[in-house]
Amino acid sequence: MAASTLNYGTSPFHCTLGLFCRSRDGRLLNAEGKGAEVIIRHWPEILEQLAACNTTFKPLSSGLMVETTCFDAVLDHRGSLLEQSHTRLRVREIYRDTSKCYVGHISHPSQGTYDDAFLEWFETLLISTTTLKPRLNQQLPASSHRVCDSSAENFWNWVRTLFIPDSALRTQLDHEPKAPASRNCQAIAEKITALFERMLRNAAVADEWDDSGRNYFSRRVRDFVNRNEPCSMVLPAFPCKSPNHAKVGGSRPDLAERIALETLHAFVENVEEIYAPGATIWIIHDGHLLSSCIGVDDDVVSEYELNLQEMYRSMFGSSTDRQAIRFCGLSDLFFSKPDRIQTFNHSWVSDPELVHNSIQTKRSEAPELARKLVMASCGISRSHLRKLILAQDPAVLKSYRGLSRFMLQDLEGPVLAGQSASRKKKTASVVAAEMMARNQAYSNLLELLFPNYIRLSIHAHNNRGPKFGIRLFPRDRVRAIDDVDGRHEPVPIYDFQLPTPWHSCIVKVEGDEVAYLAKASVARQAISSARYTGGWVDDGGKGGYFHLRGVNVGLPIKVDDEKIEAPSVLHVDTETQSLLTRNNLDPYLEARR
């Protein structure tokens, strides 16, 4: 999807120039976001304004002080149609004692109608929550070392000279982290990159990993290695089981999810063998974002999230394991700290147009509030989306049509029961447009909250960054199929895009060395054909699956490993390209490109 075309609006996200870290004396330590290059280029002028302009101070219940400075600026947008612009900028900052630096957010005025109190709440959320940290050994322009401490900071410096007279202790408090001199950071980053390529990376049809993606990935890894911290990655995934029972064996996580978690955990274990701090993969549950689009009740999504986490804890119970894979829900992104709930005003999200719920589901208060907040803070213009569809923008129209077809299939059953064929198509199209809008807004939010994390996706991206497609199933253990009888024949589409655990299930055929990933209907059709016996196996909490046995069982069939090697991305025939175009869609994540 052409996110650069689709991602247009007037939300706080679209008014964000970027996020930054700076030292007390004004050195720029990091900058992320769509306007990062502008921030870097104009940092001396921004720094001068921060020192000269009036700043307001607002304490938080956590003890942090939010400092807000507004000023007029002339920005040079090189490479854009508008080379220079006169604008009003707002900078909010807090000082983080853990990283010994200021973390700030820069924005320009919105053309939309947003309450100033909401903007303050959301921007404060960002600077107090974002994972952005100083980048060590970075190539940022040297700025003047004009002291840019605020009046409040100067006061606390004076207090510390009174109550912490020990100069050595003051030096320890004020130090900036340094990269470990003895560590060959680049070599370690390259080893972790090679491990990712071997264990997780999913090759795309038009893959740019070798051209630029590998270097991008390695640079992100090195940022963590320089700080001697776990390599942090974020994966929006594991929403809930599809409501279409022709695809899945039930609403609970099953063996498909179990194998996916094992795959991710194995990668982290292998990273630890290379690099002692290891890695952490954050699974960001996104089921509540779309539950009211896909016909799943909020409490069903909540139960799925809880069951998935319980499954992981039953598989890996140590404290190290708990750091390897971590879980976060939609509401956690906004309300993980008490002061955010206390200062939130529900009138900020009272607009009924924030979310369009065209399918009747049981909605819970917390998920519905979180959905509205995603759209209020990072949502795109729906009218712009409609214009792109009507204008038949190639990329947007392709995704819209493909997602509409997918939803027509996924909602088949109780959700669309009793509707005419034309009504079903219309409903699927309306849902597809809403899902595109929500998905893009969610991607925008994660970009702000996890700007320095390595972003993973279960979809086939071009792998040039910032997102990288991954495979949740090892090639030597699981093969995706559309037919049990033809399970040993290659299925070209699955060389580049595997079905997800939440849209399929595991099928085991007695005598075969690999398991199969398929729709539940594939297993049921095999049983109804009388060529196979068996059924669903609930394996005592380890994850359900279909177990089949051929009626005329011969010798076990050994799968030739050469048939499951990673596919070449250089030679893709026309038929495969057509299949990919029609089927390379997962409504829960596809729009996040």
What's the half-sphere exposure (Cβ side, CA atoms, 13 Å) at 376? 23
Q: Is residue 577 domain-resident?
A: yes
DSSP characters for 407-473?
Answer: HHHHTTTTTTTT--HHHHHHHHHHHHHHHHHHHHHHHHHHHHHSTTSEEEESS---SSSSEEEB-SS
Q: Report helix, strand or coil for 86.
A: strand
Residue 428 contacts residue 407 (beta carbons within 8 Å): yes
Q: Is residue 237 domain-resident?
A: no
CA–CA gap between residue 387 and residue 211 (Å, rounded): 34
Q: Is residue 181 domain-resident?
A: no
Kindly state the greatest CA–CA separation across the chain: 87
**The pLDDT value given to residue 334:** 94
**Of 270 and 112, the one with more pLDDT:** 270
Q: What are phi and psi for residue 383, nearest 5 degrees? A: -65, -35
Q: Is residue 559 domain-resident?
A: yes
**The pLDDT value given to residue 135:** 87
CA–CA gap between residue 243 and residue 572 (Å, rounded): 33
Q: Is residue 489 domain-resident?
A: yes
Determine the structural domain holding residue 535 and report its residue range: 478-583
Model pTM?
Answer: 0.85
**The pLDDT value given to residue 83:** 54
CA–CA gap between residue 113 and residue 115 (Å, rounded): 7
Q: What are phi and psi for residue 42, nearest 5 degrees? A: -105, 15
| Average pLDDT estimate for 136-149 | 49
- Given a cut of 80, whether residue 554 has pLDDT beyond it is no
- Given a cut of 80, whether residue 172 has pLDDT beyond it is no
**The pLDDT value given to residue 154:** 47
Instruction: Please say which residue of 125, 159, 174 terminates a domain.
Output: 174
pLDDT single digits (tens) 228-268: 999 999 999 999 999 999 999 999 999 999 999 999 999 99
Q: Is residue 20 domain-resident?
A: yes
Q: Is residue 415 domain-resident?
A: no
Q: Is residue 44 domain-resident?
A: yes
Count of domains observed in the chain? 2
**The pLDDT value given to residue 357:** 87
